[in-house]
Amino acid sequence: MSGVRLLVGTKKGAFVMTSDGARKKWTIEGPHFAGWEIYHLKGSPADPNRIYASQSSGWFGQVMQRSNDGGKTWEAVGNQFVYDGPTGTHKWYDDSDHPWDFKRVWHLEPSLDDPDKVFAGVEDAALFVTSDGGQTWNEQAGLRTYPTASTWAPGAGGLGLHTIILDPTQKDRMYIAISAAGVFRSEDGGKTWTQRNLGLKSNHIPDPDAETGHCVHRIAMHPAKPNVLFMQKHWDVMRSDDCADNWHEISGNLPTDFGFVVDINANDPDTVYVIPITSDSHHFVPEGKLRVYRSKTGGDDWEALTKGLPQKDCYVNVLRDAMAVDSMDPSGVYFGTSGGQVYASPDGGDTWDAIVHDLPQVLSVEVQTL
Amino acid sequence: MNQQVHVVLPRNLQILAGVGRDVEVSVDGDVTQRSVLDALEADYPALLGTMRDAKSKQRRPMIRFFACEEDFTNEPIDAPLPAEVASGKEPLLIIGAIAGG
């Protein structure tokens, strides 16, 4: 492994940042797709030069982009996301029934072994898949037609399917998460699903431990421990040790357990990172201090990582797809903020430095270890 | 008979299509919103779905069509555009509704 490539999606374009193994000096290219919202970019594990990007705009809708050369050049591919069959309704903010309506692609998850196959999580929540490199997209309708789907309601950001996790040890096992429905698991590659929210408690819904309706912000899995999942919920950091069958809280000594991101050190499946955010009405870090919290014990016991991060007058947010870890040794950790900073730690979080300070609002950060 | 129609695209769509501000498309038959958009999408497939829904052909809500100092946005999509547009003398302006303060 000779270096890393960061794929950064922002409110006004995409940026590609590269560095050698030291991860100290960076080359920044972009903005690609200037003026467009780039919710997410992700490279294929099977072919790192194959990268997909979700490009969208309130004016011009959804566009999908593909690069075959590591982000140097791009071509628009298929952008038709048509729900398969009758769309039915989900709940709206006022509890009325609202027709399912495609708005944008939130998250892309390329297949682990086929560069032409990619899953896409969209708003209004549904799972699409392409098997031809993005030219055509087909819905896996088993999720949207799940028996509780008519009761799903959007979080403040919309009814988005934002997390897709593919289990590298069980070919057809995958997980998705929806705000605000919860976690779902499939054992057949996305055709059929079961909701997996036992143990979650959310005080903002009428029945706090209901089977559905939880605003899950992000889940993460380490490939060496695929039965263990970590979750940042709207409030609460959670963990499952049995493939999401049961969840328990691991917020421990965090200053607040509201937040968006959660990620795992590539070299240690028990080392977990979150970035606490003050509250759901204060979408900025507590006390004006930007602190990443790390647990080396798989939760409950957290330490603040602050070296190189602003510790006064800082009021940024970090969105759910805006943290990533590389698989160098030591593992690098990266995140982007609502203020347009992208921070990197080449030593697992011990020290941090800003790669760039003044991008548009960062929506997503992914890293490829090359 | 093919007619050469000038179309002015908003900046974001220029970048997406890889063209300049003013593009020329060849329209077969009546020059209408539908026929111009059909020609545009045929020449620049990257624009599919960005001005109207790819399947229903319904205009995206914040796209507007101006020509000859008139707003044709809410005219029927198969209604003829002005003769000046059909002749190539005046462009069809495709506008992203204004935003910001």
Please report, for chain B, the start and end positions of each structural domain, with discontinuous segments joined by +. Answer: 2-96
Render pLDDT for A80-106 as a digit per residue (tens, 0 to 9): 999 999 999 999 999 999 999 999 999
What's the rounded mean pLDDT across residues A218-229?
A: 98
Q: Is B29 exposed, middle or buried (0-12, 13-18, 19+ CB in 10 A)?
A: exposed
In the predicted structure, residue A132 carries a pLDDT above the cut 70: yes
Six token digits for residue A298: 């798989």
- State the pLDDT at residue A78: 96
Task: Judge whether A366 lies within some domain.
Answer: no
Per-residue pLDDT band for A204 (boundaries 50, 70, 90) equals confident
Q: CB contact, 8 Å: B15 with chain A?
A: yes
Cα–Cα distances (Å) from A91 to A99, A154, A158, A280, A282, in that order, read 9, 7, 11, 21, 25
- Nearest residue on chain B to A60, alpha-carbon basis: B50
- The total number of residues shown for chain A amounts to 370
Render pLDDT for A45-57 as a digit per residue (tens, 0 to 9): 999 999 999 999 9
> DSSP letters of A278-311?
S-SS--S-GGG---EEEESSSSS--EEE-TTS--
Instruction: Give percent of chain A above pLDDT 90.
Output: 96
Q: Looking at the partner chain, which of B12, B54, B99 has a beta carbon nearest the beta carbon of A36?
A: B12
Surface of B (62-101) touching A: CB under 8 A: 62-63, 96-97, 99
- State the pLDDT at residue B100: 59
- State the pLDDT at residue B97: 84
Render pLDDT for B27-45 as a digit per residue (tens, 0 to 9): 999 999 999 999 999 999 9
Suggest the residue from A36, A55, A56, A63 to mutate for an interface test with chain B (most B CBs closer than 10 A).
A63
DSSP state letter for A321:
B
Say whether B50 and A36 touch across the interface (CB within 8 A). Answer: no
Domain count, chain A: 1
Render pLDDT for A305-335 as a digit per residue (tens, 0 to 9): 999 999 999 999 999 999 999 999 999 999 9
Amino acid at B97: A
- State the pLDDT at residue B3: 93
| A148 within 8 A of A212, measured Cβ to Cβ | yes
Its domain, for residue A199, covers: 29-321
Cα–Cα distances (Å) from A343 to A6, A23, A131, A294, in that order, read 11, 11, 34, 16
Task: Judge whether A327 lies within some domain.
Answer: no
- The total number of residues shown for chain B amounts to 101
Per-residue pLDDT band for B86 (boundaries 50, 70, 90) equals very high
Render pLDDT for A160-178 as a digit per residue (tens, 0 to 9): 999 999 999 999 999 999 9
In the predicted structure, residue A1 carries a pLDDT above the cut 90: no
In the predicted structure, residue B1 carries a pLDDT above the cut 80: no
Say which CATH topology domain B2-96 has: Ubiquitin-like (UB roll) (3.10.20)
Mean pLDDT of chain A: 97
Per-residue pLDDT band for B74 (boundaries 50, 70, 90) equals very high
In the predicted structure, residue B101 carries a pLDDT above the cut 80: no
Using DSSP, how many helices (H) and how many strands (E) does chain B show?
3, 5
Which residues in chain A are closer than 8 Å to B49, comparing Cβ atoms? Answer: 61-63, 79-80
Alpha carbon A272 to its chain's center: 15
Say whether B50 and A61 touch across the interface (CB within 8 A). Answer: yes
Instruction: Give percent of chain B above pLDDT 70.
Output: 97
| B66 within 8 A of B93, measured Cβ to Cβ | yes
- State the pLDDT at residue B99: 66
In the predicted structure, residue B13 carries a pLDDT above the cut 80: yes
Say whether A61 and B55 touch across the interface (CB within 8 A). Answer: no
Render pLDDT for A23-38 as a digit per residue (tens, 0 to 9): 999 999 999 999 999 9
Q: Is B99 exposed, middle or buried (0-12, 13-18, 19+ CB in 10 A)?
A: exposed
- State the pLDDT at residue A206: 86
CATH (domain of A297):
2.130.10.10
Smallest Cα distance from B14 to chain A, Å:
11
Which residues in chain B are closer than 8 Å to A79, comparing Cβ atoms? Answer: 48-49, 54
Instruction: Give percent of chain A above pLDDT 70.
Output: 100
As a whole number of angstroms, the distance between CA A367 and CA A5 comes to 6
| A41 within 8 A of A51, measured Cβ to Cβ | yes
